[in-house]
Amino acid sequence: MSKQPAQEEHPAPKHQADSEIQQEPEAKVHQHPRHELSEVLHQPVRFSIAAALAKTETMDFKDLRNTIQVSDSVLSKQLSTLEKAGFIEVKKAFVGKFPRTSVRLTAVGHQAWEHHMATLRLIAGQ
């Protein structure tokens, strides 16, 4: 048996037209508005904190705790999460000899709150 030399496979030549074919852009998939909701604000206690703070410039820790009816530890934990997200600013100061903690929404927090609420209204069909 005589061996025939292996034939090299050559790729098919590319045609100029192949590279000029324009692909149509993929159609944008419409996502449900819930994907726009803030994961940070969607949690009920943080939602309540943001709602309370959106109505005022600043709020005392005790007043905020009483308004949303949570314990000091729950409020502290959720404030930390909001602060890390840049949504709130926490200031600690002394009034006389007494420590006072005040909380306010930042500009980022106000924007996130407004977007979150607008998205909820969109989902609700309002």
Could you tell me the domains of the chain? 35-124 (1.10.10.10)
CA distance 119 to 114: 9
For the four alpha carbons of 113, 119, 120 and 121, in that order, the dihedral sign comes to positive
Mean pLDDT across the stretch 83-109? 96
Residues 68-85: tens digit of each pLDDT: 999 999 999 999 999 999
Residue 111's pLDDT is 97
CA distance 17 to 94: 76
Average pLDDT, the chain: 85
Q: What are phi and psi of 88, to 5 degrees?
A: -135, 165
Cβ proximity of 66 and 116 under 8 Å: no
Please give the full DSSP string across 92-106, using - where no structure is assigned. Answer: EEEETTEEEEEEEE-
Residue 106's pLDDT is 98
* Two structure tokens written together for 30: 């419409």
Using a cut of 0.75, tell me whether the model's pTM lies above it: no
Phi-psi region of 41 (alpha: psi -120 to 50; beta: other; left: phi over 0): alpha
